[in-house]
Amino acid sequence: MRRLVRPLLLALVVLAVGAQSALGARPIHDKFNLDETFAEELCGISVTTRVQVKGNVLIFEDRVIDVSQVTVTWTNTEGDSLELFVAGPGFVEERLEGDILTLDVRVAGIPEKLRSSDGLTAAFDRGLVIFRDTIDLNELENPEDDVFLGREVFFQAGPHPDLDSDFALFCEVVQDVLG
């Protein structure tokens, strides 16, 4: 999920904030639906990925409020599937100093719920988490050379087993369900 949706969100934020600066202080309210399917490798397993987004984003000059719902379903060649569900408000504030982008993120609700095709909940992060991501954009016009420098978690309430495992649990669940 992080490998797919977060880059999409980052691209949306960077594009929208750039557009917002040109438009002035009035926020942009973007509602959209996305439904895409493609083949990829996930944690070493060949899967078909379906991404469904019911987007609802409010973009200000220096922050984004996202109340979208995201469902990502990965299906292996045997037909087993793993579904990721994400919902709840997310607030992102960004700062750009030179080519270093800092994103302060506050996520509440369900940042990650993994469920197998058997209906079993494999992992379930829920509650509130506040963290900061730092990214070196290098050349601002070239997203291919961006380097993720790190994440610092400031606060969490509620169980966050995948976050607590530094996201190693995600690939363990993928291997168990789809491997």
Structure tokens given for 69: 């719902």
Q: Region 126-153: what's the mean pLDDT?
A: 89
Q: Given its phi and psi angles, is residue 119 left (phi above 0), alpha (psi -120 to 50 degrees) or beta?
A: left
Beta bridge partners of 168: none
Instruction: Give whole-number Cα distances, 161 to 3, 143, 152, in Å.
Output: 18, 31, 16
Instruction: Give whole-number Cα distances, 94 to 23, 74, 167, 170, in Å.
Output: 18, 31, 23, 27
% residues pLDDT > 70 (the chain): 85
Q: Which residue has the higher pLDDT, 17 or 43?
A: 43
| Upper half-sphere CA count for residue 132 (Cβ side, 13 Å) | 8
72 contact partners, CB below 8 Å, separation of at least 6: 1, 4, 5, 49, 50, 51, 52, 83, 84
% residues pLDDT > 90 (the chain): 47
pLDDT digits (tens, 9 = 90+) for 39-84: 999 999 999 999 999 999 999 888 899 999 999 999 999 999 999 9
CA–CA separation, 162 and 146 (whole Å): 25
Residue 58: DSSP 8-state: E
Would you say the pTM of this structure is higher than 0.95? no
